[in-house]
């Protein structure tokens, strides 16, 4: 094994056993030189002197050869103990109690006493006691009283010194350990601080990038106006889309003086307050603002049609989504209004409704003529038709009537979308309406193998409404239920009173409707995916018409369904008299 490998065993961060032994080696080397020079310290006992030198050499070799880091730390005191015994032999070989080399005792003694553990106090004291008393018993020559007193008194002093050294060393080790731990904590904190600094720099760069991205997106939103306000409605956010839509720059508006109400049509605000059952003697700006954010304050987003007023007086039809504006703690600090210009969309819808109404009118006349001529052909006694011809004629009549019903539905939906369709209001006994619908649907149910059940109360339930339209609504629900219920299923039509309301419920055990599609059922021409997959005939107008009729009567349509289980659709009507519907019905009440 090379010298480099031996030297590599010496730890750099703390003294090794060999390094602790070096002072003793140097002391013995000096003692040997002094004893060897002429007129130096005389050697009184050569073999003992040599034995002392040999013993300290053995201790030094052991300190270097043994890998003490792998050995229990308590065994390291073997080296200074051997060295201390070697000092005793050196004294005995150079004059005994009068030997000048007694001072070498301090080197291994301090080493032993400073080691961890109280047992080392005893080891240091006993070994020193042996070293100091040995010359009295083995040195020969005359012994004075002073020598005896000194021999026994010195070990006591060494014992006291060993206790003091051990305690001081113990406290130093504790302090060093604490200092080392504090240093480690400081290093960890420093490393954490450096890491935090790096992370802070990285987050700052990310934040700048995100801000640039948000600013780019913000500037790109030019087709929708985004207006932000505080809790009182004063504008403090104004995007490029708002500049384009309302004709004012951000600098002109965000001055702490402009209120979002300033850009709304007053009549719409007042109508909204009336709908909220607000009763104000003097309507203040804050009261007006409640018309915009009452639903948002209650915890829900609000999407509603409004009309914006530009500074030049031009009106802009918009759909506004109002949402709360939250801070980093989730507290509401204001409101956000995102408006989409609906002018073109509404004009397109108007033209579409006009087109549908026009086409429907144009189709109705020839269809009526076709049905009339078909009836003439059936009733012509001069040229009677054969059974086969009558069968063909029945198919033509059935399809013509189907087309006529479809044209009627299209005309009705056009009236709904235009905001005007007539209702002939009178007292309506709903039990008769339900019975008529069930009776009319009986043959269809029987042909489809579906059980049709009617469940009504014994007492009559009457409301104010249009009996024809209400019958049409119930017919639509029963027809849909039969179409979507396979053979062997059941359709139940029930009528009951629920407080101040009357409920007509049509429940089936059919294929059901996916939950994600329930909100779209009342849209015109929408058909559920279960209907298209199972090739159920229809054009998607029945529920649109039904909802319009129910809404016009001041009621609502409740829909519950589970795919593969069935569907339940309820018409909920108020018992009190609905307002007369002989004039234009506001679009918000009947549009679907």
Determine which of 97-106, 272-281, 385-394, 448-457 has the lowest per-residue pLDDT on average. 272-281
Q: Confirm if 450 and 490 have CB atoms less than 8 A apart.
A: yes
Q: Which two tokens stand for residue 534?
A: 């199972």
For residues 421 and 409, give the distance between their C-alpha atoms in angstroms, rounded to a whole number. Answer: 12
**H-helix or E-strand spanning residue 164:** helix 145-220
Per residue in 385-430, pLDDT (tens digit) is 778 887 887 878 777 777 777 776 666 666 666 556 677 788 888 8
CATH class for the domain made up of 222-341: alpha beta
Look at residues 28, 17, 27 and name the one whose alpha carbon lies nearest to residue 53.
28
* Edge-to-edge strand list for the sheet holding 235-238: 235-238, 224-230, 332-341, 315-326, 302-309
Which range, 133-142, 500-509, 542-551, has the best average confidence (pLDDT)? 500-509
Measured in whole angstroms, the distance separating CA 99 from the mean position of its chain's CA atoms is: 85
Give me the pLDDT at residue 283, please: 42
- The pTM score is 0.41
Pairwise pLDDT comparison (151 vs 444), residue with the higher score: 444
Crossing angle between the packed helical segments 106-114 and 119-138, to the nearest 10 degrees = 160
More confident residue, 1 or 268: 268
Concatenating the DSSP letter of every residue in 107-157 gives HHHHHHHHSSSTHHHHHHHHHHHHHHHHHHHHS-S---HHHHHHHHHHHHH
Q: Give the whole-angstrom CA distance, residue 374 versus residue 372.
A: 5
Domain limits, the chain: 3-187, 222-341, 346-418, 426-590
Give the domain 346-418 fold.
Helix Hairpins (1.10.287)
Q: What is the CATH number of domain 426-590?
A: 3.30.565.10
Residue 524 is predicted with a pLDDT of: 55
Give the residue ranges of DSSP H helices in 302-342: none
Residue listed under structure tokens 């429940």? 507
Whether 426-590 and 222-341 are alike in CATH topology: the answer is no
Tens-place pLDDT, residues 167-217: 888 888 888 888 888 888 888 888 888 888 888 888 888 888 877 877 777
Nearest to 546 by CA among 482, 475, 493: 475
Question: 3-class DSSP state for residue 582?
Answer: coil
Residue pLDDT, tens place only, 359-371: 666 666 677 777 7
pLDDT at 325 over 80: yes
Q: Is the pLDDT of residue 535 over 80?
A: no
């Amino acid at each position: 094994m090379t010298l480099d490998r031996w030297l590599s065993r010496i730890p750099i961060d703390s003294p090794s056993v060999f390094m602790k032994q070096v002072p003793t080696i140097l002391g013995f080397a000096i003692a040997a030189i002094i004893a060897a020079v002429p007129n130096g310290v005389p050697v009184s006992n050569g073999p003992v002197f040599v034995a002392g030198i040999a013993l300290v050499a053995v201790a030094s070799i052991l300190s270097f050869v043994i890998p003490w880091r792998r050995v229990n730390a308590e065994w390291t005191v073997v080296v200074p103990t051997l060295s201390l015994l070697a000092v005793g032999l050196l004294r005995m070989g150079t004059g005994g109690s009068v030997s000048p080399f007694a001072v070498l005792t301090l080197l291994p003694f301090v080493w032993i006493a400073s080691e961890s553990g109280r047992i080392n106090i005893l080891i240091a004291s006993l070994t020193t006691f042996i070293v100091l008393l040995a010359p009295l018993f083995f040195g020969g020559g005359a012994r004075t009283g002073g020598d005896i007193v000194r021999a026994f008194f010195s070990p006591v002093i060494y014992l006291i010194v060993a206790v003091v050294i051990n305690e001081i060393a113990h406290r130093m080790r504790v302090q060093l350990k604490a200092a080392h731990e504090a240093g480690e904590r400081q290093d960890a904190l420093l490393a954490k601080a450096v890491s935090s600094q790096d992370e802070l720099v990285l987050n700052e760069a990310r934040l700048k990038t995100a801000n640039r991205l948000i600013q780019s997106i913000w500037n790109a939103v030019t087709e929708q106006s985004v207006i932000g306000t505080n809790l009182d409605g004063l504008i403090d956010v104004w995007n490029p889309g708002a500049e384009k839509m309302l004709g004012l720059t951000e600098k002109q508006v965000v001055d702490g003086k402009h209120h979002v109400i300033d850009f709304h049509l007053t009549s719409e605000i007042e109508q909204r307050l009336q709908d909220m059952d607000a009763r104000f003697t003097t309507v203040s700006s804050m009261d007006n603002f409640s018309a915009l954010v009452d639903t948002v304050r209650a915890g829900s987003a609000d999407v509603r049609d409004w009309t914006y007023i530009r500074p030049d007086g031009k009106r802009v039809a918009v759909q506004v989504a109002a949402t709360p504006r939250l801070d980093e703690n989730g507290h509401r600090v204001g409101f956000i209004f995102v408006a989409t210009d609906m002018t073109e969309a509404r004009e397109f819808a108007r033209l579409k409704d006009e087109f549908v109404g026009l086409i429907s009118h144009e189709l109705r006349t020839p269809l009526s003529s076709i049905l009339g001529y078909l009836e003439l052909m059936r009733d012509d006694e001069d040229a009677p038709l054969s059974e086969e011809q009558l069968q063909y004629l029945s198919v033509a009549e059935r399809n013509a009537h189907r087309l006529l019903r479809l044209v009627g539905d299209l005309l009705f939906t056009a009236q709904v979308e235009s905001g005007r369709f007539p209702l002939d209001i009178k007292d309506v006994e709903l039990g008769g309406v339900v019975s008529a619908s069930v009776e009319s649907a009986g043959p269809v149910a029987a042909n489809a193998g579906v059980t049709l059940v009617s469940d009504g109360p014994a007492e009559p339930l009457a409301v104010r409404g249009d009996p024809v339209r209400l019958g049409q609504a119930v017919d639509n629900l029963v027809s849909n239920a039969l179409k979507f219920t396979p053979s062997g299923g059941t359709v139940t039509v029930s009528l009951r009173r629920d407080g101040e309301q009357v409920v007509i419920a049509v429940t089936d055990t059919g294929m059901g409707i996916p939950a994600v599609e329930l909100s779209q059922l009342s849209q015109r021409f929408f058909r559920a995916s279960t209907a298209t997959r199972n090739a159920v005939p229809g054009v998607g107008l029945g529920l649109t018409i039904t909802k319009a009729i129910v809404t016009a009567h001041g009621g609502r349509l409740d829909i519950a369904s589970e795919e593969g289980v069935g569907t339940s659709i309820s018409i909920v009507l108020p018992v009190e008299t609905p307002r007369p519907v002989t004039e234009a019905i506001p679009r918000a009440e009947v549009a679907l």
